[in-house]
Amino acid sequence: MITAPITLLSAALRERRLSSVELTQGLLDRIARLDPGLNAFITVDRERALADAKAADAAIAAGRAGPLTGIPVAHKDILATAGMRTTCGSRMLATYTSPFDAHVVEALARAGTVLVGKTNMDEFAMGSSSETSHFGPVKNPWNPECVPGGSSGGSAAAVAARLVPGATGTDTGGSIRQPAALSGVCGLKPTYGVCSRYGLVAFASSLDQAGPFAQTAHDVALLLNAMAGHDPRDSTSLDRPGEDYARLLGEARGVKPLAGLTIGLPREYFGGGIDADVGQALDSALAEFRALGATTVEVELPNAGLSVPVYYVIAPAEASSNLSRFDGVRYGHRAATYGDLTDMYRKSRAEGFGAEVRRRILVGTYVLSHGYYDAYYLKAQQVRHLIAEDFRRAYRTCDVIMGPTAPTAAFRIGAKTDDPVQMYLNDIYTVAANLAGAPALSIPCGFDRNGMPIGLQIQGNYFAEARMLDVAHRYQQATDWHRRVPAVAA
């Protein structure tokens, strides 16, 4: 029971067939048993979780329960949590505790969720494998020798191993969707501005967006309902009427529930470069969508090939500035010994940051430098507009765009650590949505020859989250890829 999706747990809690304390205790036991082999968590706080659960049970007993009351969740360790350390997977912040909650943390707490702990991640969310964490790599529950994807690999692995039914992540270039794909769970990056970035430790401010992980599209919708909403503390948070992202899921539509849906298939995504197994899983999924009533149409995203280079200019540029505050002066790591002020900066930052973070700070500093700004940063911003324009044009002829989330299933730990460019190419299908600020979702759609999960990416126009989740939900009603559980978690 405790490994069921949120929708079922929620019903059981409200019908008092299960208490939140029982559920939380059960999951804490699972974490204690399984996480040593996965390293999905950086911090687990049993006492706090059980206290939250007790409060949730009281709320349920008092008839004040919402759909998420009593549901245990975990937050990516880049989201600030008052009273629980927020490390960003870095030595720099290994002992840092925030005095305040991130907006999405606060929102999920208000919705009655139980905070179990903080999940492991690539250092400062820079990576596609969750190997760069100061707290060691996260293992893929489907095969501990493989990566779970990244940067939100801890959250993806925790949901995949059924350690928690839902978790948060952040997605700057695919950091929710790619680990969702590689770990066999659902993950959504909302439209930029839907979830406040307040308390999300910034990597690349114009791209960062928090979003949920869960077993099903329906669960994702419930979590997003709590996380979304205007927040005056974030000037890029959108002030628009609230919506129920699950509102379309209950509509009765018969055997062709997706009749009228046009799925765009970008020519650029289906050329070479896709792993054969991934391609095959995709074809099967598309066949299923057609069976559900959808039609497919070829679309063009002519600048798609520029996404990765553009992303790897803009994201490091913003990161180089965002990470300047980690200087050892007010908080965070400071070198034990140093000479003058410059020496303190150098040593503290060299010791506090890992190799990938240092690399991106260097790249970002370079592309913003006098004499290079126009050629790199400014040009990248111009191409970014073209990429967004590609999507706008495509959505004139289709409702959603589908394709692979990642070019391959999970690779082995260490396989790409020496080749940053190979690592960056994992983001080839995901970064465009961040550059455009548009929503995108990954759901499980099959397995490769090694039994590793494959993800289907569903992209939509701005604010199309409800429709995208409906499309995913209808697919999940007809298939069971999302119900498959890794052996370790069975």
- Span interacting with other proteins, options 52-60, 79-87, 183-191, 391-399, rule CB under 8 A: 79-87
CB 71, min distance to other proteins, A: 24
Instruction: Select the residue interacting with other proteins from 52, 327, 399, 470 (CB under 8 A).
Output: 327
Q: Evaluate whether 180 touches 168 at the Cβ level (below 8 Å).
A: no
CB 77, min distance to other proteins, A: 11
* Two tokens, residue 408: 């391959």
Q: Which is nearer to other proteins, 20 or 170 (CB)?
A: 170
Q: Is 382 in the site for other proteins (CB under 8 A)?
A: no
Q: Which of 461, 471, 481, 459 is nearest to 177 (CA)?
A: 459
φ, ψ at 407 (rounded to 5°): -70, -25
φ, ψ at 457 (rounded to 5°): -95, 130
Instruction: Select the residue interacting with other proteins from 370, 374, 396, 418 (CB under 8 A).
Output: 370
What residue type is assigned to position 189 of the chain?
A: K
Q: Is 114 in the site for other proteins (CB under 8 A)?
A: no
Catalytic residue among 151, 152, 155, 320: 151
Other C-beta atoms lying within 10 Å of the C-beta of residue 350: 10
330 contact partners, CB below 8 Å, separation of at least 6 = none
- Span interacting with other proteins, options 21-29, 210-218, 368-376, 428-436, rule CB under 8 A: 368-376
* Two tokens, residue 132: 């760069």
Instruction: Select the residue interacting with other proteins from 262, 280, 284, 321 (CB under 8 A).
Output: 321
Q: Which is nearer to other proteins, 63 or 232 (CB)?
A: 232
Q: Is 43 in the site for other proteins (CB under 8 A)?
A: no
Helices (H) and strands (E) in the chain, counts: 15, 11
Instruction: Select the residue interacting with other proteins from 36, 63, 99, 271 (CB under 8 A).
Output: 99
Q: Is 438 in the site for other proteins (CB under 8 A)?
A: no
Q: Which of 306, 273, 269, 308 is nearest to 428 (CA)?
A: 308
Catalytic residue among 10, 19, 76, 90: 76
CB 239, min distance to other proteins, A: 12
Q: Which is nearer to other proteins, 100 or 451 (CB)?
A: 100
Kind plus residue range of the DSSP H or E element containing 287? helix 276-291
End-to-end alpha-carbon separation of the chain, Å? 12
- Per DSSP, 38 falls in state H
> Max Cα separation, the chain?
73
CB 436, min distance to other proteins, A: 15
Instruction: Select the residue interacting with other proteins from 13, 40, 68, 93 (CB under 8 A).
Output: 93
Residue located via tokens 């009655």: 112
CA distance 18 to 1: 9
Q: Evaluate whether 139 touches 467 at the Cβ level (below 8 Å).
A: no
325 contact partners, CB below 8 Å, separation of at least 6 = none
- Span interacting with other proteins, options 66-74, 78-86, 152-160, 400-408, rule CB under 8 A: 78-86
CB 297, min distance to other proteins, A: 34
Q: Is 337 in the site for other proteins (CB under 8 A)?
A: no
119 contact partners, CB below 8 Å, separation of at least 6 = 40, 41, 42, 74, 75, 76, 77, 152, 154, 155, 157, 158, 167
Q: Is 296 in the site for other proteins (CB under 8 A)?
A: no
Catalytic residue check, 175 = yes
| Rounded (5°) CA angle 251-433-133 | 110
60 contact partners, CB below 8 Å, separation of at least 6 = 13, 14, 16, 20, 69, 70
Q: Is 102 in the site for other proteins (CB under 8 A)?
A: yes
Beta bridge partners of 459: 401, 440
Q: Is 353 in the site for other proteins (CB under 8 A)?
A: no
Q: Which is nearer to other proteins, 292 or 317 (CB)?
A: 317
Catalytic residue check, 348 = no
Q: Is 435 in the site for other proteins (CB under 8 A)?
A: no
- Span interacting with other proteins, options 110-118, 299-307, 319-327, 453-461, rule CB under 8 A: 319-327
Q: How many residues bind other proteins (CB under 8 A)?
A: 44
Catalytic residue check, 307 = no
Q: Which of 53, 64, 8, 7 is nearest to 27 (CA)?
A: 53
What residue type is assigned to position 227 of the chain?
A: M
CB 344, min distance to other proteins, A: 9
Which 189-228 residues touch other proteins, going by CB under 8 A? 197-202, 204-206
Catalytic residue among 175, 196, 320, 442: 175
Which 229-288 residues touch other proteins, going by CB under 8 A? 232-236
Q: Which of 158, 152, 197 is nearest to 171 (CA)?
A: 152
Q: Is 481 in the site for other proteins (CB under 8 A)?
A: no
CB 151, min distance to other proteins, A: 16
Instruction: Select the residue interacting with other proteins from 88, 160, 292, 454 (CB under 8 A).
Output: 88
Q: Which residues lie near other proteins (CB under 8 A)?
A: 79-80, 86, 88, 93, 96, 98-100, 102, 197-202, 204-206, 232-236, 317-318, 320-321, 323-327, 329-331, 341, 345, 365, 368-370, 373, 377
Q: Catalytic positions, please?
A: 76, 151, 175
